[in-house]
Amino acid sequence: MQHVHRRVVHREVAMPEAQPTFEDLGQPLGEVTFCVVDLETTGGGPDDTITEFGAVKVRGGEVLGEFQTFVNPGQHIPGMIQKLTGITDSMVADAPALDAVFPTFLAFAEGTVLVAHNARFDIGFLKRAAERLGYPWPSFPVVDTVALARQAMLRDEVPNFKLGTLAAHFGTSVTPSHRALDDARATVDVLHALLERVGSFNVFTLEELGEFTHYVSKERRAKRILADHLPYAPGVYSFVAELPDGKGVPHKQVLYVGKSRNIKNRVRTYFTAAEGRARMDEMVRIATSVQATVCRTELEAEVLELRMIAAFEPRYNRRSKYPQRQHWLKLTEEPFPRFSVVKSPPKDAAAFHFGPIRSRNAIEQLLLALYDTVPIRQCNTRLNATKPSGACALAEMGKCVAPCQLSVSKADYQELLGQAISVLGGDLRPMLSQMGSRISQLAGMQRYEECAELTHRVEACVYSVRRHHRMRSLRECAEIVAARQTDGYGTGPGWELHVIRRGQLVGADFVRVGESPLPAAEALAATASIAEVESAVPKLAEEIERVADWLEQPGVRLISIDGDWAWPLHAGANEPYVMV
């Protein structure tokens, strides 16, 4: 397997794995309080209502309490329903109304996990009742014993998953009778029998139970063991497969790279219904192992993820399939230079270049904004300094000074070109003034679609100029050492420390509160990679943006800086349009 050269380094102090918390591990099923509920109703339609509540509260196999009451539905109970449940109009005539019963049930069920057989029916009625009566619906976790049985039982064990069928199969202490409390008691026994079953699938927490009730192929679920050795810590993980090469020799191939603040918990989700992407299902089936690298800070994880994706080009990462393409503007070398789009900056660092720019469309919008501001040439024809050639339509429209006809001197043309370079160099005011005037004129003529087009063009130009200077300012800083206080990553609050050289992260560390970050920062800067980073490497563009995002967060403190981290005065986002 190809190895990634990691330039991110930290002190020679092993970072202890974060101690798993109950939040990491989940809530053990033996400590969960379940409220098993069953309702009888006047029917299954949206206008039907509840006629009887039955609920049993249990924890660790022990019954904590029961709740049962009739409810006056305020309407006739259909004969078919009376025959099915045995509940007649006379039985509910003197019963309390739903508005008197419902708050009592909410108090009984408070803090529990609701369980129902075919939960969509019962929970649906409860939610409608809350809405009609003006109660906010509590965010009860819900377990459906039908869904649980479908996953935990073999297909040839029972002909169907009706409550009566499961009760008979498991030999419940109470036989379901279409009466609320009896059915709730039977569902309790079914629930306990199913919970015993799911233990063989390594389901021991409420969170795992919720995942288990959703359909996932047995092959995919069986691969959960791939996450067993992973740490409860922030960092980068990669799914790896041993696949034959062209000669049939097995070799390791990285399939997918990701990052997380909790590697183990994140990787576990790939083996559950929580991960619904089709390509991830295919990736998990191919994978034979999962590797992880613990990182000291979240920024270190982001940078390492980008570098690993660039190095391995994993086929299941969208960024590998659709890599971020960069474009640059440079000036041609001829008597009357023009802007040319290239895929890499000039090798001569002294030559004019602008970028990187993310897309071809962004370049087109940027150039159109420049051409609207300064009438420089747009054609690709190579011009002669002494021999005139035919002019194009742009010259006839006054949108080009027509150097092709030698109607402008080289010195005057260079002055115009300097104005365009000045806009790219950070002074957006001429472009904003001219474009703002044009937008105002179009708005006055009610040509709003053209206004929107020009507004989009201005925004694209401002964004590209800001991005260029944001990245350039970091690339031109020889070194920045900065710190930021954070809540930590399972080890308690502390300080993130980063060493950045030429816009590239070369050192990362984490110091807990109570320790002085300054000595750690000095040690980190001393041990960080001394390799110089080229001042304009296109593949690092996204990394530089991530570094800039971190540096610009509130609370970041500069410990030391070698260089000028600054933007041109008029290249900011708040430059106003000059509307006249």
Provide the pLDDT confidence category of residue 144 given band limits of 50, 70 and 90.
very high
Closest listed residue to residue 541, CA positions, set 415, 357, 292, 410:
357
Q: Are 364 and 329 in contact (CB under 8 A)?
A: no
Backbone angles phi, psi at 354, to 5 degrees: -135, 130
- Domains of the chain and any CATH numbers: 28-204 (3.30.420.10), 216-321 (3.40.1440.10), 327-473 (no CATH), 475-562 (no CATH)
Closest listed residue to residue 283, CA positions, set 296, 260, 267:
267
More confident residue, 575 or 537: 575
Give bridge partners of residue 55 from the DSSP assignment.
Answer: 37, 67
Cα separation, 529 vs 439, in Å, equals: 51
Pairing of strands 235-244, 353-357: unpaired
Q: Find the range with the poorest average confidence among 19-33, 138-152, 388-402.
A: 19-33
Tens digit of each residue's pLDDT (9 = 90 or more) over 410-468: 889 899 998 998 888 888 888 888 888 989 999 999 999 999 999 998 888 888 888 88
Give the mean model confidence (pLDDT) for residues 366-387: 86
**Angle in degrees, 0-180, between the axes of helices 163-170 and 180-198, rounded to the nearest 10:** 60
Q: 576 exposed, middle or buried (CB, 10 Å; 0-12, 13-18, 19+)?
A: exposed
Q: 319 exposed, middle or buried (CB, 10 Å; 0-12, 13-18, 19+)?
A: middle
Q: What share of the chain is helix, strand, coil (3-state, %, to 5)?
A: 40, 20, 40
- Who's near 564: CB < 8 A, 6+ residues apart? 473, 476, 477
Q: Are 532 and 555 in contact (CB under 8 A)?
A: no
- Who's near 88: CB < 8 A, 6+ residues apart? 77, 82
Per cent of the chain over pLDDT 90 is 43
Cα separation, 338 vs 416, in Å, equals: 11
Give bridge partners of residue 536 from the DSSP assignment.
Answer: none
Give the mean model confidence (pLDDT) for residues 493-512: 91
Give bridge partners of residue 205 from the DSSP assignment.
Answer: 28
Q: Find the range with the poorest average confidence among 436-450, 482-496, 507-521.
A: 482-496
Cα separation, 357 vs 271, in Å, equals: 38
Tens digit of each residue's pLDDT (9 = 90 or more) over 189-243: 999 999 998 887 778 888 878 877 765 666 777 788 888 899 988 899 999 998 7
Q: Return the biggest CA–CA distance within the chain.
A: 109
Per cent of the chain over pLDDT 70 is 88
Pairing of strands 33-41, 113-116: parallel
- Residue 435, both tokens: 């474009």
Residue 370 has pLDDT above 80, yes or no: yes
Where do we find the tokens 């029961």? 66
- Residue 150, both tokens: 């479908």
* Three-state DSSP class for residue 355: strand
Q: Is the dihedral of CA 126, 129, 133, 139 positive or negative?
A: positive
Where do we find the tokens 């509920």? 37
Cα separation, 476 vs 468, in Å, equals: 12
Provide the pLDDT confidence category of residue 322 given band limits of 50, 70 and 90.
low
Residue 539 has pLDDT above 70, yes or no: no
pLDDT of residue 572: 60
Provide the pLDDT confidence category of residue 52 given band limits of 50, 70 and 90.
very high
Q: What single-letter DSSP state applies at residue 224?
A: G
Where do we find the tokens 């709730």? 184
Tens digit of each residue's pLDDT (9 = 90 or more) over 93-118: 999 999 999 999 999 999 999 999 99
Give bridge partners of residue 353 from the DSSP assignment.
Answer: 330
Q: What does the mean pLDDT of the chain come to? A: 85
Residues assigned a catalytic role: 178
Rounding to the nearest 10 degrees, give the CA dihedral for residues 245, 247, 251, 255: 10
Write out the H or E segment, with its range, that includes residue 194: helix 180-198
Cα separation, 56 vs 185, in Å, equals: 7
Residue 538 has pLDDT above 60, yes or no: no
Going from the C-alpha of 401 to that of each of 294, 376, 391, 413, the distances in angstroms are: 60, 6, 10, 8
Give bridge partners of residue 240 from the DSSP assignment.
Answer: 254, 289
Order of strands across the sheet with 557-562? 504-512, 494-501, 479-486, 557-562
Residue 577 has pLDDT above 70, yes or no: no
Q: Find the range with the poorest average confidence among 288-292, 328-332, 534-538.
A: 534-538
pLDDT of residue 349: 65
- Residue 268, both tokens: 């576990």
Residue 490 has pLDDT above 80, yes or no: no
Backbone angles phi, psi at 454, to 5 degrees: -70, -35
